[in-house]
Structure 1
Amino acid sequence: MLSVFRQSWQKREQQFSAFATGPLLDFWRQREEGEFIGVNGLPIGFVRLCSPAHDKVVVISTGRIESYVKYQEVAYDLYHCGYDVLIMDHRGQGRSGRLLEDSHRGHVQHFDDYVRDFSLFWQRYVPRDRYRCRFALAHSMGGAILALFLAREPDCCDAAVLCAPMFGIRLPMPSWLAWRVLEWAEGRPRLRDTYAVGTGAWHPSPFRANLLTHSRQRYQRSLRLYADEPTLRVGGPTYHWVREGLIASQGVMDNAATLTTPVMLLQAGEDKVVDNRSHGAFCRAMAAAGHPCEGNQPVCLPGARHEILFEKDSLRADALNMITDFFARYHSC
């Protein structure tokens, strides 16, 4: 039955509307939503999709501006592969508390606050006595958060997959110039917390202009979710967020050698959001420390754009098969 289910990944877009308004909607109605208090008293929203029959769990760390609401299909697929699924909305986005009056600004005081929130979430809702195996799956910014968490708490997770992780950010200008701009803005509080140059409030972009996925169905569904629930919307990052993100990316590289958790790094061949060169450097650092990532290098998906988990069926199915096969190797835990 599982093999038949996995085969369905190859042809879901053919009847995507029927799937989204039928099986997926029925599944999502079973969710349990909750909230806990994160760093500095900020409310952090999360969702759980659980079954008494499951003794394995996948915790998902999402990307910048994303909400767990967007991850319904990913949760559906992992759940039907035998995993409980838990997803937390990072501070400043989704159904978690915002830090600025303008809720569209992507902002964080300290990138480490993301990591500390994630640690609190893991400690409270992913207990070892509940699950035989505990896995983690991350996308983009969530990959940097997860990598820093694993460096700090190496025994929490049995295996982890990083999808297009934000270990380096593509910038619209040379790095040296970007740092000059960021340091200049950092010294001016009123400017520091405004949108970084070239960005602004959330707005729906047409599919043909997107750099995230080749799947028209999944892209349009994501837009509808954010259109239907305006409180989920987050636009461009602040200057301070960009600065914190760059510092965090360097922190990931500095700590790569300390990661001992089995890791697979999935790389999007056509990524225009993160710097793929950083993935190779990360894998080399892990290998030099004696605990190489899966395949000893990034596992590249040629033709995939940044949002691997929301790509067209053929690419997404390849990614999901690799993810679930990788986790299955650690089911003995």
Structure 2
Amino acid sequence: MSSNYEQWLTRERGFSAFATGPLLDFWQGREEAEFLGVDEVAIRYVRFCSPEHDKVILVSTGRIESYVKYPELAYDLFHSGYDVMIVDHRGQGRSGRLLDDPHRGHVQSFDDYVTDLATFYQLEIAPRQYAKKFALAHSMGGAILALFLARQPDSFDAAALCAPMTGIYIRMPGWLTRRILDWAEYRPLYRDGYALGTGHWRPLPFVVNRLTHSRERYRRNQRFYADYPELQVGGPTYHWVRESLQAGIQILQEAQNITTPLLLLQASEDHVVDNRSHLAFCQAMAIAGHPCEGDKPLVIEGARHEILFERDDMRAQALDAILRFFARQK
């Protein structure tokens, strides 16, 4: 069990004091930079480094997210002995947007995310002589990381995927979803428009959110988007949904190429990603001869989609499992 476990279990009790004290001090020591990704799109990232650390964790974030949302996780990883680097994927956060309406969640090709991550790896992680290199990904970031690992399986010593987007939770039959997306794909007005039922970003009250049970963390994250309008991203485009569904299929097809030790964490109350796809992915990994840790997803009971922004008890369980998994990689 991590030496910080007890602190993680009780943080919400004094969350405001923590956020405006130690966490704010830590955040002010960040280093921000950017590089040009596919098609010269600016990709922003942040790093927290110490000469005392010989290990690094790359964090790949979820859809609409920014590293501005992640200081608490960076704080915990950094104070567990790791350098931390977090990338804002194209089309969101502080990275370059792809459409005139910056609220539309869009990507031309899902592979562009993967190529950007590969470029970042070569620029920031490969040149540094770390004894151990790890990756931690959430949701869409997990899909991006999985495809990166299929391409470059020896890049990291291990990786943890939290509620990875190996499949999207959609409340309609698959055949109907495919028909709608294929129809929209060849009609530009719809292809790059908001998918059905979505639109501009707008704040939602805590009681109707499906992402976390933590009132403190949810409110803090909502304030980030309200205070920094340039971070706001609304619903996805039809093309983004199509690309992302195809990426889920591609992950299963390329699972045989992933030899990196993997821990997959699943939220039992997830209504964003399809948990059945996690089982399919773990089965594909096992068939290929390199199963996920424990041969199946580690289920965080009671957790909603944003496991690392959940209540203290669930978040501590997940974070402890991740760091213990990394520590076992010799």
- TM-score category by the smaller chain? over 0.9
Task: State the partner residue of 2:253.
Answer: 254
The answer as to 2:76 corresponding to 1:89 is no
Task: State the partner residue of 1:184.
Answer: 183
Work out the CA distance in 2 between the residues paired with 1:296 and 1:171: 26
The answer as to 2:213 corresponding to 1:199 is no
Task: State the partner residue of 2:227.
Answer: 228
Alignment deviations for residues 283-310 of structure 1 (CA, whole Å, 9 cap, x no partner): 1111111111100001101100000000
Q: Please state how far the C-alpha of 1:128 moved relative to its aligned partner.
A: 5.5
In the comparison of the two structures, how many residue pairs are matched? 330
Name the SS of the counterpart of 2:74 in structure 1: helix
4+ runs of 1 displaced by more than 6 Å?
none
Q: Please state how far the C-alpha of 1:172 moved relative to its aligned partner.
A: 2.6
Alignment deviations for residues 138-176 of structure 1 (CA, whole Å, 9 cap, x no partner): 000000000000000011010000000000101131110
Unaligned regions of 5+ residues in structure 1, if any? none
Alignment deviations for residues 70-103 of structure 1 (CA, whole Å, 9 cap, x no partner): 0100000000000000000000000000000000
> One-letter code of the match for 1:316?
R
Q: Please state how far the C-alpha of 1:6 moved relative to its aligned partner.
A: 2.5
Work out the CA distance in 1 between the residues paired with 2:69 and 2:129: 26
Matches within 5 A, 1:217-296: 217-296=216-295
Alignment deviations for residues 89-128 of structure 1 (CA, whole Å, 9 cap, x no partner): 0000000000000000000000000000000001110026
Work out the CA distance in 1 between the residues paired with 2:184 and 2:287: 37
Name the SS of the counterpart of 2:135 in structure 1: strand
Task: State the partner residue of 2:36.
Answer: 37
Alignment deviations for residues 276-331 of structure 1 (CA, whole Å, 9 cap, x no partner): 0010111111111111110000110110000000000000000010000000011x
Task: State the partner residue of 1:130.
Answer: 129
Name the SS of the counterpart of 1:102 in structure 2: coil
The TM-score, its normalising length taken from structure 2, stands at 0.99
Task: State the partner residue of 1:111.
Answer: 110
Task: State the partner residue of 1:208.
Answer: 207
Work out the CA distance in 2 between the residues paired with 1:6 and 1:206: 30
Task: State the partner residue of 1:62.
Answer: 61
Task: State the partner residue of 1:313.
Answer: 312
Work out the CA distance in 2 between the residues paired with 1:88 and 1:321: 23
Q: Please state how far the C-alpha of 1:258 moved relative to its aligned partner.
A: 1.6
Work out the CA distance in 2 between the residues paired with 1:86 and 1:298: 25
Work out the CA distance in 2 between the residues paired with 1:324 and 1:251: 28
> One-letter code of the match for 1:154?
P
Name the SS of the counterpart of 1:274 in structure 2: coil
Work out the CA distance in 2 between the residues paired with 1:102 and 1:146: 27
Work out the CA distance in 2 between the residues paired with 1:131 and 1:225: 32
The TM-score, its normalising length taken from structure 1, stands at 0.98
RMSD: 1.0
Work out the CA distance in 1 between the residues paired with 2:68 and 2:239: 26
Work out the CA distance in 2 between the residues paired with 1:175 and 1:238: 18
Q: Please state how far the C-alpha of 1:130 moved relative to its aligned partner.
A: 2.2
Task: State the partner residue of 1:73.
Answer: 72
Task: State the partner residue of 1:20.
Answer: 19
Name the SS of the counterpart of 2:70 in structure 1: helix
Name the SS of the counterpart of 2:24 in structure 1: helix
> One-letter code of the match for 2:46?
V
> One-letter code of the match for 2:104?
R
Q: Percent identity?
A: 65
Matches within 5 A, 1:145-164: 145-164=144-163
Alignment deviations for residues 214-241 of structure 1 (CA, whole Å, 9 cap, x no partner): 0000000000011110000000000000
The answer as to 2:143 corresponding to 1:144 is yes
